[in-house]
Amino acid sequence: MRRRAREIAFKVLFEHLVGGVPLEEAWRHALELEAEPLDEETRAFARRLVDGYLTHREKVDEVLKETIEGWSFGQMNQTDLTVLRLATYEALFESTPFAPLIEVAVKIAKRYGGEDSGRFVNGVLSRLVRRVEEGELPAAPREE
């Protein structure tokens, strides 16, 4: 359920931020393209991720800029950046354990990004987690 929600959130946010499509239209597109309807829990989680990122965009982007080494947002593959934005929001503001969060982000990056996207996303998120674990960044408590 959560993996599918994260993928839907990625599609919506990518179309909205990169494609310039109004948010509700991006939601409509993403949901129309799904082979099977989403249950309410999956839909709600996807919406929470997108809305959460948009609400905390400034903080998430600031943290990413501090965490990514050697790349500006303009230089980055926009697919990777979108995956990182959602995963960073979730790492900082949701209680999701880090391991499954990173695993799904890497899978989405591999599926939609370039040849090195999975490795890049994994490296950035691993650095981010290290920063949280070392107390450099505040984050929501993790689920047990």
Q: Is 49 inside a domain boundary?
A: yes
Nearest Cα to Cα of residue 59 among 134, 141, 137: 137
Q: Kindly report, residue by residue over 68-98, the tens digit of the pLDDT.
A: 988 888 888 999 999 999 999 999 999 999 9
Q: Is 106 inside a domain boundary?
A: yes
Q: Is 26 inside a domain boundary?
A: yes
Q: Kindly report, residue by residue over 2-34, the tens digit of the pLDDT.
A: 899 999 999 999 999 999 999 999 999 998 888
Q: Is 118 inside a domain boundary?
A: yes
Q: Apex CA 51: angle with CA 50 and CA 55, to 5°?
A: 120
Q: Is 139 inside a domain boundary?
A: no
Residue 142 has pLDDT above 90, yes or no: no
Q: Kindly report, residue by residue over 38-66, the tens digit of the pLDDT.
A: 899 999 999 999 999 999 999 999 999 99
Q: Is 71 inside a domain boundary?
A: yes
pLDDT of residue 37: 82
In b/e form, how buried is each residue of 6-30, taking b as 16+ CB within 10 angstroms? bbbbbbbbbbbbeeebeeeebbeeb
Q: Is 59 inside a domain boundary?
A: yes
Question: Could you tell me if 1 and 41 are in contact, meaning their C-beta atoms sit under 8 angstroms apart?
Answer: yes
Residue 108 has pLDDT above 90, yes or no: yes
Residue ranges making up the domain that contains 81: 2-133
Question: Could you tell me if 18 and 80 are in contact, meaning their C-beta atoms sit under 8 angstroms apart?
Answer: no
User: CA 31, CA 24: separation in Å to the nearest integer?
Assistant: 11
Instruction: Indicate which CATH number applies to the domain containing 87.
Output: 1.10.940.10
Count of domains for the chain: 1
Question: Could you tell me if 93 and 140 are in contact, meaning their C-beta atoms sit under 8 angstroms apart?
Answer: yes
pLDDT of residue 144: 59
